[in-house]
Amino acid sequence: NALDGEGLDEHLMNSAVKGDRDQDMEDVKKLSSEIAGSLFLKDVTRTSTDTFRKLREDPMFQIKQAEHRQKSELASNPLIMARIKEKRAREARKVKKAAKKEKKKARKEKKKAKKEAKRAKKAGASSSSSSDSSDGEQAPAPQSRGPASVATRRS
Per-residue pLDDT 10s for the chain (155 aa) are: 445 667 777 777 777 766 666 676 677 666 665 666 666 666 555 667 777 888 888 889 889 999 999 999 988 999 999 999 999 999 999 999 999 999 999 999 999 999 999 999 888 877 655 554 444 445 555 555 555 555 555 54
pLDDT value for 5: 63
Task: Give how far Cα 115 sits from Cα of 105, 120, 121, 122, 138, Å.
Answer: 15, 9, 10, 11, 30
pLDDT at residue 133, rounded to an integer = 47
What pLDDT score does 83 carry?
92
Q: Coil, strand, or helix at residue 38? A: coil
Please name the residues in contact with 49: beta carbons below 8 A apart, sequence gap of 6 or more. 43
CA distance 31 to 41: 9
Is residue 129 packed enough to be buried (19+ CB in 10 Å), middle (13-18) or exposed (0-12)? Answer: middle
**Dihedral angle at the C-alpha atoms of 52, 58, 61, 62, nearest 10 degrees?**
110
Phi, psi at residue 152, to the nearest 5°?
-70, -30
CA distances from 25 to 19, 62, 83 (A): 10, 38, 62
Q: What is the Cα Rg of the chain in Å? A: 47
Give residue 97's pLDDT: 96
